[in-house]
């Protein structure tokens, strides 16, 4: 069964949402390195050390066997939409020494973050599982009230699409940040660039084929 039009549409809405969240690099259908997430390595110092020291040379068989232990709902390895961007770091600052107790929240820096969205368009789709680890922020995007807040893990954000003429996506439940090992930002940037390159080259080949056919036809008509 192919991808439905609703699923394709909500993926586009997911791209728009991540752009609004400050993700300037966004792509679809990206393979997730779940082993990068501290959510599943807490309490296992040997595994954490292996990831930190050898994250660029991972033994895939080792990690796939490791992840057979996680629950079925985290059975997916491809995420629908992935974005790399920044998140402001806020701090309470006093701007006037005459009023020492008066402080306001001020942006003092930015930190890189990796966000991902899984699109669900039916209850069966939701029950089939979704990516829950490997990123800083995870979201589920679905038609309004298809999935309840209580049905998703605490660290997963929930985005609702209102449907009908109203095309807005709004956040019904905020995600909680997961810490990743340090090379993940570069890893996902490379994945997105690779995805862009393959899509652009595919489009270029199709355009050249169409233009080539058009040019040949015109030449045949003008030069009998």
Residue 205: the pLDDT is: 80
pLDDT, one tens digit per residue, over 84-141 is: 998 887 777 776 677 777 777 777 778 889 999 999 999 999 998 898 888 999 999 9
Q: How far apart are CA 150 and CA 115, in angstroms?
A: 21
User: By the 8 A CB rule, do 58 and 33 touch?
Assistant: yes
- pLDDT under 50: residue ranges of the chain: 38-43, 47, 51, 54-72
Q: Which residues contact 113 (CB under 8 A, 6 or more apart)?
A: 22, 84, 85, 86, 87, 136, 137, 177
Region of residue 86 (left: phi > 0; alpha: psi -120 to 50; beta: else): beta
Residue 199: the pLDDT is: 72
pTM score over 0.75: no
Alpha-carbon torsion (191, 194, 200, 206), positive or negative: negative
Q: How far apart are CA 49 and CA 112, in angstroms?
A: 22
Residue 42: the pLDDT is: 45
End-to-end CA distance of the chain: 48
Residue 164: the pLDDT is: 66
Residue 174: the pLDDT is: 95
Residue 116: the pLDDT is: 96
Task: Give the neighbor-by-neighbor strand order of the sheet with 23-31.
Answer: 23-31, 78-93, 104-119, 137-143, 156-163, 166-173
């Amino acid at each position: 069964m192919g991808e439905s039009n609703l699923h394709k549409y909500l993926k586009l809405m997911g791209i728009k949402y991540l752009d609004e969240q400050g993700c300037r690099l966004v792509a679809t259908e990206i393979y997730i390195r779940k082993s990068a997430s501290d959510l599943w390595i807490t309490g296992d110092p040997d595994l954490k050390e292996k990831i930190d020291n050898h994250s660029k040379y991972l033994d895939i068989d080792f990690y796939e066997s490791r992840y057979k232990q996680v629950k079925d709902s985290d059975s997916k390895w491809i995420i629908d939409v992935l974005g790399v961007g920044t998140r402001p770091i806020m701090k309470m600052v006093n701007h006037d020494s005459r009023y020492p107790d008066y402080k306001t929240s001020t942006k003092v820096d930015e930190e890189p973050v990796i966000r991902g969205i899984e699109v669900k368009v039916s209850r069966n789709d939701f029950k089939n599982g979704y990516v829950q680890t490997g990123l800083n922020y995870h979201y589920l995007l679905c038609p309004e009230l298809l999935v309840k807040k209580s049905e998703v893990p605490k660290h997963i954000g929930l985005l609702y699409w209102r449907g009908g003429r109203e095309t807005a996506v709004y956040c019904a439940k905020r995600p909680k940040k997961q810490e990743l090992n340090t090379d993940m930002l570069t890893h996902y940037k490379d994945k997105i660039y690779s995805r862009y390159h393959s899509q652009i080259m595919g489009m270029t080949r199709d355009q050249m084929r169409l233009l080539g056919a058009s040019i040949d036809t015109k030449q045949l008509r003008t030069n009998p």
